[in-house]
Amino acid sequence: MCRVATLFAACAAVACIMHAEARGLEEHDHSGHEHVTFSRQSVRSGRWSDANTWQPTGVPQAGDRVLISRGTRVEYDVDSRSVIRLVQVVGTLRFARDRDTRLEVGVLKVQSSDHCSESGFACDFEGANAAGEPQLERTGPIPTLEVGTPEQPIPAEFTARIRLHYLDGFDKNDAPALVCCSARLDLHGTPLNRTWVKLDRDVNANDGMVVLSEDVTGWRVGDEVIVTGSKRGNFRSSYRNDEDAVRTEERRIAKIDGRILHLDKPLLYSHYGSGNFRSEVANLSRNVIVESAEPQGVRGHTLYHAYSQGGISYARLAHLGKENVLGRYAVHFHLVGDTMRGSQLLGLAVVDSHNRWVTVHGTEYLIIRDCVGYQSVGHGFFLEDGTEVFNLFDRNLGVQAYRGKRLPKQVLPFDPNDGAAFWWSNGRNTLVRNVACENDRYGYRYDSQKRSNFDSHLPVRMPDGKTEVVDIRELPIHRFSQNESHTEGLYGFAMAGSDGVGPDKRHPHHLNDLKAWHVHYALRLQLPTMLVENVTIDHAAYGIYRPWFENHVYKNLRIAATGAEPFNRGLDDRSQQHGTITVDGLTFSEMGYGGQMPLIQISANNVHGDAESHFRDVKVLGRTRDDRWPLLNLGGGPRLKPSTSKGVPFYIHDYYGKGRHARVVSTRAMDLLRDGNKYRQDPPLTGDESVVAEVTDVEFPKLLDPTDDIGPVTVITAIQRDGGKLIIRGISHDNGKISKVRINGKAAVLRQVTEGLSDWEIVLQTEPTIIVAQSIDDAGNGEITPHEVRLQAKLPAVAVR
C-alpha cells in the first residue's frame, strides 16, 4: 500500500522538504562519495544460504559488497559471524521467521538504485540533493528490508540480530549504519503487552523480587530489566558513570510468578511501590536487535529518509548513536515531512545510545508509543528543528539522558543538549502518559527562542495542510497531560525560553494532570499565557519556579514536602511580574521548618503596572506554628527594592469569610501602602515584610477564554484483509476529546485510551480503492486533511501500512 496525500498535504510535504534542503546541504554534503562495485548480487529469488541465489555462485563472504537485485526476493536464513562490508537492498531481503538469524554488516542500505556508496547517510539515486536527501517520491517497486511485520513478527522462540561494524575505509562520522532511502524498512519483534509498568509494592534494600502493578505478557526469564530510582542520590553534575548518583538498578529475571518477578540478585536500594509515587520496572530485552558490534569503538546509527515506509515495533536498538556528531542518532526520522504518515515506533527499547534515543526531524504524524529509552548522551526523545507538528508521544519511559555537548551546526543554536528525556520546541505535538526519571537536567524541556543567529519564524504545516511561516513561540503547547517526572538531576518540567512571547488568551499553553517528585525544581513555567491544572509536587526544593507571570491560570495544585520555595515570585530573583495570575485550589502540606520563608512569594516589580495575583481555596495542612512559613511574604533570596512605580497586590479570596478577602502587599510597595486600606500584620498569613487589609467587592478575574478550534489528527496504523473484509485500525489524538472517527464515511468503534487520545477500529464489508480516515472532536472540529491510503492491487492477507 502507498499513501495518497491530498493536494494540500502533498504540497506541505514538498514545502517542508524544500525548506530543509538548504539545511541539509549545509549540514551534510555527500556529493563527494564514490560509488562502489558489488562483489556479489542476487540473480534469482531464494535463500541467502543457497549458492545458486548469487552471481558469482557462492554464499556471500566476509568483506563482500552485496546487492539484492531488483525483482529478487532473498530470505536471510543464516546465523553468520562473517562481516559483510555492504548490503544494498533494491529487491526484497526478508529475515527467516523459523530460526535464529544474525547479520554482521558495515553498511546496510535500502534504496532503489543500482549504484551505491559506502555513505551511512546519503541516498544514491537521481532526485536526491547533494546531501543525499530525497526530494521526490520514487516510482516502481519499493525496495524492502523485512525483519518481521506487525502482523507476523519474529516469533518469541527466535532472535533476529543485525550488528553494525566499522570497517577500514569507512567515514567514522557516517558509518556503520542502517539506512532507508525512500524504501520500506520493517523491524518487528514479539509484542509485549506492556514494556514498562509501575511497582505494586514497596521494595526494600536487599529484596530479591519485585511486584508489578499489572499483568505482563511477553516477559521471559533471562530478560534484562531496570527498576527506576525513587530517591535522588548524591547527584553532582551527571548520572553518567556516577554510581553514587544512580538509584536505577539493572537486573535479569530469574523467575516469573504471576506479577512477581524474581531477580538474579538482590536490589541495593529501596524503591517506592505504594501510594501516589511509585517507581517503574521496564523490560529492555527484545528478540529483534540492531546494535553496534563494538560499543567502545565506532558506533552505528539508523535512519529513515523521506518517502520511506514501514516502522519498528518491539525491537531493541543498543549501543548506537555517534557522540557529538549531528544527525547520527539511534533512531532518526530525517526531514520526512508527512510522507510516513501511518508509521509507528511501538514498544522499542533504545539502550545505551551515545546520541539520543529517537529523533524526529522535520517530520509530522509519527506515533511513538510504549518505548523505553535508557541511557542517552544528550536529549532522549527529541524533536529537532521546530517545524515538527502532529506527532504523538504516548506512554514512553525515559531514564538517564545525560549531559552532552552542542552538536556541530545544530539547527537550534540555543539548545545546550544538556540531557532531557523529552525535548521539543513546537507546541503542536501531543505528549501524554510519559514518565521521565534520573535525567541529568530535565525530565521535560520545551524551549522556543529567537536569537540573533536564529529566527523563530519557521514554515510550519497547518491543520489545512498548507505551510505557513509563523513564530513558533506563539503556537500553544497542544496537549501535555498525565506526564510524570521523578528523581531528576535538576528539573522535572521546564517550559521556558520564549522571551515573553506566547499564544493568545483563546489558545493558551495547556498543561494538566502532572506529577513531579523527588526533583530539585519541579515546575518551571517561564512562558506567558498558560492554563495549568491538576499538578502534584512532592519532595522538591522549588515547586512553581521562575514563572513568567502573565495570564497564568492555575487550578488544583498540590505542593508537599517542598522545603525551599514552594511558590516562587515572578522570574525568581528578578522578582518581576508582567501580568495577572489566578490560582483556584492550592494545598500545601508536610512543609517542615520554613522560618520566615513564605509558601507564596510576593513579586516586587509590577512591570506593566496592571499585574495582580488572585488566590482562592488555599489550604495549609499540618501547620504546627504560626511563626513559620507565612503564607505570603517577600522571598528568601535577594529582597529587592522595587524598581517599578507600582507593587503587586495579592488577594486571598474569601479568606475572612464569604466575600471578605485578604489583600496582602509588601511593606516595600509604598504605592500600595498608601492606597487607603488599613494594613496590619496577621501571622501566619503575613510575614516580616508583608501586611494585609480586609477588602470586599473584588472579583476573581477570568483571564483566559480557551477555545478549541483545531481538529484532531488521525493516523491509520494497520489494514488487514480477512476474507472479503478489511479490518482497519488507527489512532486519533486531539487537544480536546475525540467524539467520532469516520472511515469512508462509516463510524469506527472508539476505544478511548485517555482524554484526547483514542484507538479505533472498523470492519469494512467491501474493499474500496481508497481509504479515508477522519476524526471529529467534541467541539465539532473536523479534520481538514484526513489520512488517505490507496490499496495495493494485490494486498496480502495481512499487513498494511
Task: For residue range 95-128, list pLDDT tens digits in order.
Answer: 999 999 999 999 999 999 989 999 999 999 988 9
Whether residue 56 has a cis bond before it, omega within 30° of 0: yes
CA distance 359 to 57: 41
How big is the CA angle at 395 (ends 712 and 779), to the nearest 5 degrees?
Answer: 20
First to last CA, the chain: 6
More confident of the two residues 592 and 758: 758
pLDDT at position 88, please?
A: 98
What pLDDT was estimated at residue 30?
58
Instruction: State phi, psi for 22 to the nearest 5 degrees.
Output: -60, -40
Residue 800 in this model has a pLDDT that exceeds 60: no
Give residue 12's pLDDT: 37
Give the integer Cα–Cα distance in Å for 586 and 515: 15
- pLDDT, one tens digit per residue, over 551-571 is 999 999 999 999 889 999 999
In the block, which residue shows the cell 493536494? 7
Q: According to the model, what pLDDT value does residue 594 have?
A: 62
| Structure confidence by residue, pLDDT tens digits, 68-97 | 999 999 999 999 999 999 999 999 999 999
- The DSSP line for 3-61 is E---HHHHHHHHHHHHHHHHHHHHH---TTPPB---SEEE-SSEETT-GGGEESSS---
Q: Are 790 and 714 in contact (CB under 8 A)?
A: no
pTM of the model: 0.95
Q: Which whole number is the average pLDDT over 476-481?
A: 97
The Cα–Cα gap between 735 and 86 comes to 46
Q: Which residue has the cell 510597595?
A: 669
Q: Are 593 and 571 in contact (CB under 8 A)?
A: no
DSSP 568: P
Whole-number pLDDT of residue 793? 56
pLDDT band at 792 (very low <50, low <70, confident <90, very high): confident
Element (H, E) at 560: strand 552-567
Over the chain, what is the mean pLDDT?
94
Following CA atoms 793, 797, 798, 801 in sequence, which dihedral angle do they give, to the nearest 10 degrees?
Answer: 10
* pLDDT surpassing 50 at residue 413: yes
